[in-house]
């Protein structure tokens, strides 16, 4: 009996100790090991994860997306929607200040949304808000947004519009190099290819946040160096790491892996304005040549699933709906012959070199395609050069990784609509355009589902993207890093809740 009582008391003491250990501790700098240097820090034009992991701490939107992929208030305290779904009236949160100490106003938010909408900005997220007809501040704390049509993912998409200070931007500050927002951390210093330092925003509107004094993003492209650095304690947090590094770190003392499902996916993109990929049969043949399950095993170490056009589990169609997902090199050769290429095709493939998973996947894909008559000349490019070529549609094909979204429209419309802001493939399909417009303007969720089911069938085999794999999203941290929660969108908003146990 005594033994049982002793065991119970010990368990109680341990539980109490764990409880005490979970009391947040203030102070300290979180040393982050980042795999690439950002090409810039203007969130309205950025396209790379290397930028977003930094700007997500500097800026905020009217709304934000939580770990369950639901929109919730951020800089907007509340909102109302007109009965026809065309007018949103937002109450702007009071007591919010920019990092320079000046108060946030509804005018700053209107300016930021209009900056994204302005063609001169060239924002890759402009297509997400192209149903906004007008946005205006009716008072310092009230914003009115008028739509041309009902827009189902409106509140989700507003989370992607980082709010800037109108005065700061118009003063001529370089937003790529000197960002300034309302977020929990303020920009302090950037030593190119070495580190970026953010400091705690002392007047941050979320009471008591952030706990940390600073975030230091150490630029460490070499995975082995990041691994050793985390194991030794030089770095305390590695965000969004590749599967091979996760496997290596799994049993490292004093290191933990933090996981969730990733909405980002690896892909092969095809330029349909260039031969041979202007022919939909060639695009279909490429899909038949791929063995996605083999990529899951060889590149993702089993931590992934073959990717269809949508990664949102509640929206994704079963792969049985896509005949081209049944690997069949012989069928691929037949389609190439029907398209006028009986001897196969030669083409270039540029690869974003800052992502090891993509580089590894491109090598496996190159081998798979060769068995079906696709002869790819693979060229691995550094991140800045890759983004430049991608933006200019200067490729036959490319291998990369794309971010997902909490709503199907957030990914599909900008990517596949004619003239979409990230439609670098030059793809245009009237049926797809019609379905995309129906999907975003239909407010009832159940009525939207069959629309997106048909879209996935239209895009899976003959679209401009061969979707490869949705992986498990891994981050790695020292055991004393507490309070962080991962989000499938790869957002790091919970760094504001992160603290270092002593």
pLDDT at 3 over 80: no
Give the chain's end-to-end CA distance (angstroms, integer): 37
The mean per-residue pLDDT over the stretch 49-63 comes to: 96
Closest C-alpha to 262, from 185, 363, 355: 355
- Range of the structural domain that residue 414 is part of: 264-470
In the chain, the number of structural domains is: 2
Pick the last residue of a domain from 142, 168, 194: 168
pLDDT tens digit string along 415-458? 999 999 999 999 999 999 999 999 999 999 999 999 999 999 99
Q: In this structure, what token pair is assigned to residue 282?
A: 């060639």
Whether 174 maps to a domain, the answer reads: no
Whole-structure pTM value:
0.87
- Are residues 275 and 161 both part of a single domain? no
- Are residues 339 and 462 both part of a single domain? yes
pLDDT tens digit string along 124-150? 999 889 999 999 999 999 999 999 999
444 backbone φψ class: left, alpha, beta (φ>0; ψ -120 to 50): beta
Ranges 14-18, 71-75, 219-223, most confident? 71-75
Whether 26 maps to a domain, the answer reads: no
Pick the last residue of a domain from 116, 150, 168: 168
Whether 84 maps to a domain, the answer reads: yes
Count CA atoms closer than 13 A to 59's CA, side-chain side: 28
- Are residues 141 and 278 both part of a single domain? no
Whether 289 maps to a domain, the answer reads: yes
CB 25: neighbour CB atoms within 10 A?
Answer: 15
Q: In this structure, what token pair is assigned to residue 134?
A: 């007008």
Q: CATH code at 353?
A: 3.10.105.10
Whether 405 maps to a domain, the answer reads: yes
Mean pLDDT for all residues in the chain = 94
pLDDT tens digit string along 264-287? 999 999 999 999 999 999 999 999
d(CA 239, CA 170): 33
pLDDT at 30 over 50: yes
Closest C-alpha to 403, from 118, 37, 128: 128
Q: CATH code at 84?
A: 3.90.76.10
- Are residues 157 and 279 both part of a single domain? no
Q: What is the 3-state secondary structure (H, E, C) of 103-150?
A: ECCHHHHHHHHHHHHCCCCCCCCHHHHCCEEEEEEEECCEEEEEECCC
d(CA 44, CA 164): 10
d(CA 218, CA 198): 11
Angle at 268 between CA 325 and CA 367, to 5 degrees: 75
Whole-number pLDDT of residue 311: 84
Q: Give the residue carrying structure tokens 């109450």.
A: 91
d(CA 122, CA 336): 37
7 band by pLDDT with thresholds 50, 70 and 90: very low
Whole-number pLDDT of residue 17: 43
pLDDT tens digit string along 154-173? 999 999 999 999 999 999 99
- Are residues 163 and 279 both part of a single domain? no
Task: Give the rounded percent of residues in the chain with a pLDDT score beyond 70.
Answer: 96
Pick the last residue of a domain from 144, 168, 192: 168
Whether 301 maps to a domain, the answer reads: yes
pLDDT at 10 over 80: no
pLDDT at 23 over 70: yes
Whether 299 maps to a domain, the answer reads: yes
Q: In this structure, what token pair is assigned to residue 430?
A: 């009237």
The mean per-residue pLDDT over the stretch 468-490 comes to: 96
pLDDT at 11 over 70: no
Q: In angstroms, what CA-CA distances link 174 with 93, 165, 169, 391? A: 27, 13, 8, 21
DSSP for 449-495? Answer: HHHHHHHHHHHHTTSSEEEEEEEEEEEEEETTEES----TT---GGG
- Are residues 294 and 418 both part of a single domain? yes
Whether 397 maps to a domain, the answer reads: yes
- Are residues 397 and 273 both part of a single domain? yes
Strand, coil or helix: 85: coil
């Amino acid at each position: 009996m005594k033994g049982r009582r002793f065991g119970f008391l010990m368990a109680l003491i341990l539980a109490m100790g764990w409880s005490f250990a979970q009391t947040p501790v203030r102070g300290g700098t979180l040393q982050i090991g980042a795999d690439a240097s950002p090409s810039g820090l203007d969130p309205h034009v950025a396209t790379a994860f290397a930028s977003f992991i930094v700007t997500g701490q500097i800026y905020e939107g009217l709304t934000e997306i939580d770990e369950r992929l639901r929109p919730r208030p951020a800089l907007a305290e509340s909102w109302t929607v007109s009965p026809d779904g065309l007018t949103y009236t937002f109450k702007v949160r009071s007591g919010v200040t920019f990092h320079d100490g000046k108060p946030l106003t509804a005018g700053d938010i209107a300016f930021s949304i209009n900056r994204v909408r302005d063609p001169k900005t060239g924002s890759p997220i402009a297509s997400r808000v192209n149903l906004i007809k007008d946005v205006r501040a009716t008072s310092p704390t009230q914003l009115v947004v008028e739509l041309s049509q009902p827009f189902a993912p409106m509140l989700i998409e507003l989370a992607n519009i980082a709010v800037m200070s109108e005065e700061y931007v118009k003063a001529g500050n370089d937003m790529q190099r000197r960002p300034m927002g309302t977020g929990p951390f303020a920009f302090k210093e950037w030593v190119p290819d070495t580190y970026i330092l953010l400091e705690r925003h002392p007047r941050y509107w979320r009471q008591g946040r952030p706990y940390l004094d600073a975030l230091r993003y150490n630029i460490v492209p070499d995975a082995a160096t990041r691994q050793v650095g985390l194991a030794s304690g030089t770095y305390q947090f590695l965000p969004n790491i590749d599967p091979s590094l996760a496997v290596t770190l799994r049993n490292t003392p004093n290191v933990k892996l933090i996981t969730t499902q990733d909405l980002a996916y690896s892909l092969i993109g095809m330029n349909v304005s260039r031969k041979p990929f202007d022919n939909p049969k060639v695009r279909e043949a490429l899909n038949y040549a791929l063995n996605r399950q083999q990529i899951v095993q060889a590149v993702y170490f089993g931590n992934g699933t073959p990717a269809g056009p949508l990664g949102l589990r509640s929206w994704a169609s079963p792969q049985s709906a896509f005949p081209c997902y049944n690997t069949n090199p012989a069928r691929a050769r037949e389609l190439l012959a029907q398209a006028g290429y009986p001897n196969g095709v030669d083409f270039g493939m540029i690869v974003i070199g800052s992502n090891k998973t993509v580089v590894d996947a491109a090598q496996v894909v190159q081998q798979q395609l060769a068995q079906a008559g696709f002869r790819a000349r693979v060229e691995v490019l550094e991140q800045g050069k890759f983004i430049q070529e991608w933006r200019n549609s200067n490729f036959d094909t490319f291998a990369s990784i794309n971010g997902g979204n909490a709503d199907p429209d957030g990914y599909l419309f900008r990517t596949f609509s004619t003239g979409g802001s990230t439609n670098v493939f030059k793809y245009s399909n009237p049926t797809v355009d019609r379905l995309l417009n129906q999907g975003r303007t239909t407010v009832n969720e159940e009525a939207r589902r069959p629309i997106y089911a048909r879209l996935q069938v239209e895009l899976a085999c003959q679209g401009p993207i061969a979707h490869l794999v949705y992986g498990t999203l891994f981050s790695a941290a020292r055991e004393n890093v507490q309070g962080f929660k991962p989000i499938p969108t790869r957002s790091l908003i919970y760094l504001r809740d992160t603290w270092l146990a002593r």
